[in-house]
Structures are given as C-alpha cells and as structure tokens.
Copies of this chain bind each other. A is one copy, B any other.
Amino acid sequence: MVSPNKPGLPTFHHLNDSQSQRILWFLEELGIEYNLVCHTRVEGRAPPELKNVHFMGKAPVLVTPDNVPIAESSAILGYLIDAYDKDGRFAAQDKVRDESLSSFAGSTIGTIGMIELIFDIVAGRSPWPLSILLGGVKSNVHKSFTGPEYATQFQYLEKELTDDWFNGKNLGRSDVMLSWPMDFLAAKKYVDFEKYPKIFQWRKRIQERDAWKSAMEKGNGYNLAEM
C-alpha cells in the first residue's frame, strides 16, 4: 500500500472512491515525483490510520517535504502550484475568479450534494415504511430546494465556461476543484448533464487527458455511484 518513501518529496495520502482523486490527477498533471500512499475505505468511511497523518483523519492529505500536512483540497492545490508549477502552466488567469470558482466548488455545490446523499444513506438504512417515507421527503426536498439550486448553479457554471477551461485557455485550480463535485453528481445521477453541453464537453476533455488516465491507474478505484 505504501510506495517507496523518498525523502525530499511531497507525500500524497489518497483514499479510494473519493475527492482525493482530483489531487492525484493534478499531481500527474504537474509531472513531479511524489510518494503515494493509497488508503482504503473501511465500511464506507476513511480508515483510522489516516488519523496519524492529519488530526481530521480524512483524505486527501498532502505532506510537504518539510513535514507539514495539508488537508483541504484548495489549499493543497494552491501549495502545489506555488511550489512546483515553476513555468506557470496552471497559473490563475484571474485571481478573484480562481478563488471564487474554487470556493464555489468546495462549498456551494458540495453542500447540496451532501444533503441528497444523506437522505439516500439514511433511507437506505431505515426499515420499511420509514425508508419509503424518507424517499418521499427527499423527493420533496429535491423538488423545492436541491433541484432548483442545482439548476441555478449549473446555469451559472455553463455561462462561466467561455473557454476550454474555467481557468481560461489553460487548466487551473478551479477546474481541478470543480471536477470532483461534477464527478460525484454525475455518478449519483443527481443532475442531468445532457442539459449542460459545455460542462459535458469540459468533463470529456478532462477524461481524455493523459494525466487523468494515469491518475486513474495509480489510484485504487473511483466508483462514486455506490458511495
């Protein structure tokens, strides 16, 4: 599970079927050397050993060569760009836009997805007839709240995608940040991506990249449908 631990390199702690896949992808985009530790979920949750890496016990965690563990995805990406993107291939084309879209990906979209997921999980674990009732409640929440929220968010993102990437001509932090909620929402079928052709094509562009493909090979699975 642990790759040879070379000193002087960042060490990346990855978890299967999780948002840390996007960081693994970005490490491959950078083309730098790093140590990779793949962790595996236990009963659907992060394994206890991750507590030894960062207090929160979650993935992703990037441990810098100076032994600082960074646990928030946007902070990890910011660090990696500052420290390793010396020729500015992934530089923010517009700093405010980059911060806005990265924050949007981490908070606004994620929250709505979590609400639907919790209802699904709770309904799945509840005995009949509570499971049926909760399914009905989720439908109502979707109709009156999460559904319209998704529509607004996706219309907004569709409008913002005026070039190949959210960052502009070149892939940037906001694209990497947005890839996770998109993959999650697509896998769970919470949103109909056919309605948003620019986002649909953007996702295809990501999946066709060599770095994406090699991250999929190096990780230990990315099946979000069963989360």
Tell me the A residues contacting B by CB distance below 8 Å: 55-57, 68, 70-75, 78-79, 82, 95-96, 99-100, 103-104, 106-108, 110-111, 114-115, 118, 122, 126, 130, 133-134, 137, 140-141, 145, 152-153, 155-156, 159
Contact = CB atoms under 8 A, between A and B. Distances in A.
A152 B51 CA distance: 11
A152 B106 contact: no
A142 B56 CA distance: 18
B100 A70 contact: yes
Contacts of A78: 95-96, 99
Contacts of A55: 152, 155-156, 159
A107 B110 contact: yes
B104 A72 contact: yes
30 contacts: A55-B156, A56-B152, A71-B100, A72-B100, A72-B103, A72-B107, A72-B108, A73-B103, A74-B99, A75-B100, A75-B103, A78-B95, A82-B95, A103-B103, A103-B106, A106-B106, A107-B110, A107-B111, A110-B111, A111-B111, A114-B114, A114-B115, A115-B115, A115-B118, A118-B141, A118-B145, A122-B141, A130-B137, A133-B133, A134-B137
Contacts of A71: 100
A188 to B, nearest CB: 16
B96 A70 contact: yes
A137 to B, nearest CB: 6
Given A115-B114, A130-B133, A152 B57 contact: yes
Contact of A74 (B103, B130, B133, B153): B103
A213 to B, nearest CB: 28
A193 B45 CA distance: 27
A99 B155 CA distance: 28
Given A74-B99, A104-B72, A152-B57, A126 B137 contact: yes
